[in-house]
C-alpha cells in the first residue's frame, strides 16, 4: 500500500515536473535538431516586401557573397539598392520627407564577428546611401553613432557627395499632405477654393493614417554567409512627414537591429517608437539564445508588446530573425486579412537562399486596426 502510494505520488510529481520542463525540453530538442541539420547558408532574410525592389535587393546581397564578399559586404550592398531606388518611398533617395519637406535618414549596420561591432547614423541629410556611412562609423571611428550635421560632415570627409534626395513624386505627396493639414490654415490644394476644403477624416485620410500606423516598410536585412558569419543592416526615411529631428528604431542597436554570431540576428520594421520601447531585436536574439526558434522568438516579443498594451496595441511592427543554422522566421503585431482565404497572415518577408528568392508569409498576431480605431487615434 505504502509503496504503491509512494509510487503513485512519485509518478504524479514526475509528470508535473516533466510538464513544467516541457517547454524547455522542447527548446533544447529544437536546438539539437537544428544543430544536426546541415546549415542553410548562405541565407538572406529581409523585411522588405515591395515587389519592384525586393529581388534586386537580395540579388545584390547574394552577388556580393558570390564575389567573395563577407556577410557585412552583402548586407551593405543589398541595402544600398533599396536606398538608391526612387520607387522605394520608405528608404533613401525618393523617400517621403519630414514635415518640413526634406529627408532625414537613419541607418545602422552590425557585424556578428569582431565582438559584434556596429555603426549607425541618424537624421543624416543629403546622402543617398546612409548605411555605407554607418559602416564607416563602425570601421573608421571608435564611436557607434553619429547624428545630423556631425554625420554629414563625417560623410563628406569620406567623399560622399551631397544631393537633393527629394523626388518630384515625394514632393507632390508631401505638398498634398501639407495642403490638407488643417482646414483653417492658409494653404490651398490645386482644386480647393477658400471655404471649400476637403473635410478631414475622409477615406483618403484614413488610408493615410493606416499607412502611417501599419504599412511602414523601411528595410531591415539579415545575412548568414557561407562561413557562418552573420551581419545585418537597416535604412529608413523614418515615418513620413515626421517631426524634424525625430529618430526611429532603425539606427538604434538592439531596437531595429541586433546581431550575434553565436546565436543569430533580428531586425524590425514598423512603428519605430514602439520598437525602441521594447528593445525588440535584442529581445528576439536573447530568446533565441534561450533556445527558441527564430519564429518562436519573434512571436514571443510581439506577444509581449501586445500584453504591455492590454491586448489593444494601436500600432504595428514586424520582426524578422535568422539563427546561425539558417533557420528563420517573421511575426508582426498586426497581420492582414487575406482577401481570398480570409486567413490572418503576417505582412510577409522576403527570403533568398539556395532554393531561390521568394516571398514568405510571417505570422500576424492581431487583425489590422479598424477604421473606427484609426479615426480615434491622435489626428495629425
Ligand atoms: N521603423 C521605421 C521608423 O520608425 C519606419 C519603417 O519601418 O518604415 O523609423
- Asked if residue 209 has pLDDT above 60, the reply is yes
> Domain check: are 96 and 142 in the same one?
yes
Phi, psi of 233 (to 5 degrees): -150, 155
Please give the Cα distance from 279 to 283 (Å, whole number). Answer: 6
CATH number of the domain at 152, please: 3.60.20.30
Q: Mind listing the pLDDT tens digit for each residue in 345-358?
A: 887 999 999 999 99
- Asked if residue 188 has pLDDT above 80, the reply is no
C-alpha angle 283-284-290 in degrees, rounded to nearest 5:
90
> Domain check: are 106 and 242 in the same one?
yes
> Domain check: are 24 and 57 in the same one?
no
Please give the Cα distance from 67 to 22 (Å, whole number). Answer: 45
Does any domain span residue 293?
yes
> Of all atoms in ligand 1, which is nearest to the CA of residue 242?
9
For residues 216 and 239, the answer to whether their CB atoms sit within 8 Å is yes
Most confident of 27-41, 114-128, 149-163, 209-223: 149-163
Does any domain span residue 192?
no
Domain tally for the chain? Answer: 2
> Domain check: are 68 and 135 in the same one?
yes
> Domain check: are 218 and 325 in the same one?
yes
Does any domain span residue 85?
yes
> Domain check: are 145 and 53 in the same one?
yes
Average pLDDT over residues 236-257: 96
| Ligand 1 centroid, distance to 69 Cα (angstroms) | 28
Q: Mind listing the pLDDT tens digit for each residue in 6-32?
A: 344 343 344 344 444 444 444 544 555
Please list every protein residue whose CB sits less than 6 Å from any atom of ligand 1. 90, 216-218, 236, 238-239, 248-250, 269-270, 272
Q: Which domain holds residue 21?
A: 1-36
Does any domain span residue 183?
no
- Asked if residue 339 has pLDDT above 60, the reply is yes
Farthest CA pair distance, the chain:
94
For residue 253, the SS3 value is strand
Residue 237: all three cell numbers together: 526615411
> Domain check: are 26 and 55 in the same one?
no
> Domain check: are 65 and 30 in the same one?
no
> Domain check: are 6 and 107 in the same one?
no
Q: Mind listing the pLDDT tens digit for each residue in 278-329?
A: 999 999 999 999 999 999 999 999 999 999 999 999 889 999 999 999 999 9
The whole-number pLDDT of residue 23 equals 47
> Domain check: are 268 and 120 in the same one?
yes
Please give the Cα distance from 209 to 273 (Å, whole number). Answer: 16
Q: What is the band of 168 on the pLDDT scale with cuts at 50, 70, 90?
A: very high
| Ligand 1 centroid, distance to 316 Cα (angstroms) | 10
Does any domain span residue 171?
no
Average pLDDT over residues 263-278: 96
> Domain check: are 214 and 301 in the same one?
yes
- Asked if residue 377 has pLDDT above 90, the reply is no
Interior/surface letters 275-290, b for 16+ CB within 10 angstroms, e for the rest:
bbebbbbbbbbbbbee
Of the listed ranges 70-74, 119-123, 241-245, 292-296, the one predicted with least confidence: 241-245
Q: Which one, of 347, 314, 351, lies nearest residue 332 by Cα?
A: 347
Amino acid at each position: 500500500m505504502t509503496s504503491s502510494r509512494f509510487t503513485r505520488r512519485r509518478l504524479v510529481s514526475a509528470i508535473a515536473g516533466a510538464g513544467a520542463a516541457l517547454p524547455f525540453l522542447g527548446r533544447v530538442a529544437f536546438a539539437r535538431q537544428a544543430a544536426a541539420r546541415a546549415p542553410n547558408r548562405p541565407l538572406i532574410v529581409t523585411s522588405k516586401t515591395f515587389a519592384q525592389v525586393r529581388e534586386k535587393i537580395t540579388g545584390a546581397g547574394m552577388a556580393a557573397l558570390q564575389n567573395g564578399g563577407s556577410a557585412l559586404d552583402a548586407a551593405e550592398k543589398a541595402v544600398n539598392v533599396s536606398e538608391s531606388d526612387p520607387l522605394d518611398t520608405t528608404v533613401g533617395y525618393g523617400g517621403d520627407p519630414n514635415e518640413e519637406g526634406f529627408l532625414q535618414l537613419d541607418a545602422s549596420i552590425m557585424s556578428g564577428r569582431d565582438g559584434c561591432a556596429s555603426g549607425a547614423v541618424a537624421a543624416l541629410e543629403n546622402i543617398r546611401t546612409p548605411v555605407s556611412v554607418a559602416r564607416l562609423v563602425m570601421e573608421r571611428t571608435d564611436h557607434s553613432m553619429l547624428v545630423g550635421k556631425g554625420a554629414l560632415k563625417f560623410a563628406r570627409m569620406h567623399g560622399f557627395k551631397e544631393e537633393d534626395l527629394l523626388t518630384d513624386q515625394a514632393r507632390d505627396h508631401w505638398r498634398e499632405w501639407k495642403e490638407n493639414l488643417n482646414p483653417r490654415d492658409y494653404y490651398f490644394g490645386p482644386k480647393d477654393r477658400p471655404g471649400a476644403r476637403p473635410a478631414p477624416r475622409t477615406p483618403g485620410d484614413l488610408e493615410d493614417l493606416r499607412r502611417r500606423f501599419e504599412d511602414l516598410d523601411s528595410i531591415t536585412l539579415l545575412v548568414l554567409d557561407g562561413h557562418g558569419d552573420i551581419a545585418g543592416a537597416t535604412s529608413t526615411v523614418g515615418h513620413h512627414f515626421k517631426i524634424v529631428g525625430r529618430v526611429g528604431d532603425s539606427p538604434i542597436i538592439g531596437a531595429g537591429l541586433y546581431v550575434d554570431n553565436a546565436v543569430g540576428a533580428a531586425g524590425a520594421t514598423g512603428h519605430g517608437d514602439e520598437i525602441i520601447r521594447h528593445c525588440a531585436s535584442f529581445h528576439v536574439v536573447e530568446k533565441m539564445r534561450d533556445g527558441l526558434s527564430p519564429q518562436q522568438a519573434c512571436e514571443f516579443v510581439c506577444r509581449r508588446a501586445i500584453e504591455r498594451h492590454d491586448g489593444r496595441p494601436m500600432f504595428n511592427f514586424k520582426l524578422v530573425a535568422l539563427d546561425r543554422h539558417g533557420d528563420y522566421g517573421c511575426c508582426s503585431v498586426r497581420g492582414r486579412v487575406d482577401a481570398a482565404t480570409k486567413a490572418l497572415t503576417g505582412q510577409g518577408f522576403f527570403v533568398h537562399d539556395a532554393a531561390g528568392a521568394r516571398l514568405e508569409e510571417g505570422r500576424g498576431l492581431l487583425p489590422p486596426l479598424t477604421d473606427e480605431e484609426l479615426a480615434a487615434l491622435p489626428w495629425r
